[in-house]
Structure 1
Amino acid sequence: MGTRAVQCLLFLLLLGAPFLASVQNLKCHKGVSTSIEKDPSSVFNWTTEEAESCESGSFCQESLLMVKAGTKTAVLATKGCTSDGTQAVTYVQHSPPPGIITVSYTSYCDDSFCNNRKDLQELWRPEETQEASRAPNTSGVPLYCPTCVALGTCLTAPSLLCPNDTIQCYEGKLQISGGGIDSVLEIKGCTSVTGCGLMAGFFTIGPMWVKEVCPHQSLPQPRKVENGATWLPVSVWRLGLLLLLLLQ
């Protein structure tokens, strides 16, 4: 082969080097975790030793859903490759305290092993959420709600006094699929949101699809007074009074 031909071939190889580097697969941490924790900020470990190679045009992702009811918090987390979305970091507090707290976090990045968050220290702030949840109800007509969060079905749901500014008892399930997760969360408790709106209209968290199902529409509940009697809504009280007047 002549000198010019060798130079030409070398030039073509040099031109192709960036292209070859660009089509090399992105590598991402891979892992799935679903658990119920008492203190996820100090206990939950989001590291994983698994890895996967992504297709061209993909991102590394790490996505998280946390739901707190009473003293327990459900944590659903996933890491891996994703072909949908854009490079961004998203943090949403879907249902704020007092009562049930729902938080989600998603990070999409395009460097190998960039989905490397190890814990929840910056994402879950118990000192902020717990203080609001512990505030006593001072309205004089306390609200009590069955309270639990569980993967699958709650085995027990003790009736707990709701904090001030909660407006109803919530009862529903979150069906979560995608990102290697296929789980159902049953959730009961006091809430400051109305109706079946725990997720505030959000249905995707990274690769996870969330469907909220409330078998019984959550409504403001009768409140128990201290002597154990039941406080009825004004409209019901007026109806009873009207019936008494008609019977006289």
Structure 2
Amino acid sequence: MGARHAQGLLLLFLLRASSTRTLAQHLYCHKGISMSLEEDPRAFNWTTERVETCDNGALCQESLMMVKSGAKMALLATKGCNPEGIPAITLVQHSPPPGIMVVSYSSYCEHSFCNNRKNIPEIWNPEISEQAPNMSTTFHCPTCLALGACSSAPSLPCPIDTTRCYQGKLQVAGGDVDSTLEVKGCTSLPRCGLMSGIFTIGPMWVKEMCPYQSLIQSRKVGNGATTWLPISIGRFGLLLLLLL
């Protein structure tokens, strides 16, 4: 009797395991990519009509990289299945204001169509991004943001407390995204420091390249001498990891 009972429990366990594997194979996720330049990030629409069926063990993911320089913001986004990762939400402010700002967001979830975010107001803090900084009357930098290469980079006034002119490119690959973003503008971060050492955003990998030396701001002091402002190492403005 004991042997038959044990065999029955084993059969029940195997049936449940098989059922779990079958359910896991039928995880459906929204799928798509978006690459755009916006002057108002609230106009960004992060929806897609495509659907992807995930393999066993995969999760749904949606990941977004936001870069702001001057009046424009670049948004590179991806949704779909991903075989790696754990259910979690990660929000990182790589480069805080003033000057060039970089924020990334990624979410991994385990329920069908859970990667359904449509816009970004909770991700991009409007109180920070829309606050008009005090601008310098003497320090200017070439400023542009473009998918590919900048066609022009006008010299624009920099926010007070920025110390460098940044010129570089961000190569983004993964999650069906393959693009290069050219960035020029004002910053206080060291050369090639926009990503603050974090180069993965969900399935996307970011390679930062700075072929030009950044310019250090100089200011005139009262006696007419020139003083070079010290360069401070940027720290993460925000790193949030929530396990679902």
**Could you say whether these structures have the same fold, taking a TM-score greater than 0.5 normalized by the shorter chain as the test?**
yes
Q: Which amino acid aligns with 2:18?
A: F
Q: Which residue of 1 aligns with 2:190?
A: 194
Within 5 Å, which residues of 2 pair with 1:21-36?
Answer: 21-23=20-22, 24-36=25-37
Cα deviation digits, residues 118-174 of structure 1 (max 9, x gap): 11111112332231x53223xxx7210010110000111111100111011000000
- Report the 3-state secondary structure (helix = DSSP H, G, I; strand = E; otherwise coil) of the residue aligned with 2:102: strand
Q: Identify, as 1 or 2, the structure richer in strand.
A: 2
Query: Which entry has the higher C-alpha Rg, 1 or 2?
Result: 1
- Separation (CA, whole Å) in 2 of partners of 1:178 and 1:105: 15
Q: Counting helix residues as a fraction of each chain, which structure ranks higher?
A: 1
One-letter code aligned to 1:29: H
SS in 2 for 1:77: strand
Alignment of 1:45-194 (within 5 A): 45-131=45-131, 133-137=132-136, 142-194=138-190
Unaligned runs of 5+ in 2: 1-6, 229-244
Give RMSD over aligned pairs.
2.5
Aligned length: 217
Cα drift, residue 66 of structure 1: 0.4
AA in 1 matched with 2:48: T
TM-score by length of 1: 0.80
| 1:127 counterpart SS class | helix
Q: Distance in 1 between matches of 2:72 and 2:34?
A: 16
* Shift of residue 12, structure 1, vs aligned partner: 5.5
| Secondary structure in structure 2 of the residue aligned to 1:32 | strand
Distance 1:165 1:192 in 2: 7
List aligned pairs for 1:7-22, cutoff 5 A: 16=15, 19-22=18-21
* Whole-angstrom distance in 2 between the partners of 1:57 and 1:89: 18
- Give 1:26's aligned amino acid: L
- For 1:228, the equivalent position in structure 2 comes to none
Separation in 1, partners of 2:14, 2:192? 58
Structure 1 position 221, deviation (Å): 3.9
In the alignment, is the contact (CA less than 8 A) between 2:59 and 2:108 conserved in 1? yes
Deviation of 1:216 (Å)? 1.1
User: In structure 1, what is the Cα distance between the partners aligned to 2:225 and 2:152?
Assistant: 27
Q: Is the 8 A contact 1:169 1:189 kept in 2?
A: yes
Q: Which runs of 5+ in 1 are unaligned?
A: 1-7, 226-230, 236-248
Structure 2: how far apart are the matches of 1:130 and 1:21? 47
Residue by residue over 1:85-107, the C-alpha shift from the partner in whole angstroms, topping out at 9 and shown as x without a partner, is 11110001100111101000000
Percent of aligned positions with the same letter in both sequences?
A: 58
Larger relative contact order, structure 1 or 2 (CA cutoff 8 Å, min sep 6):
2
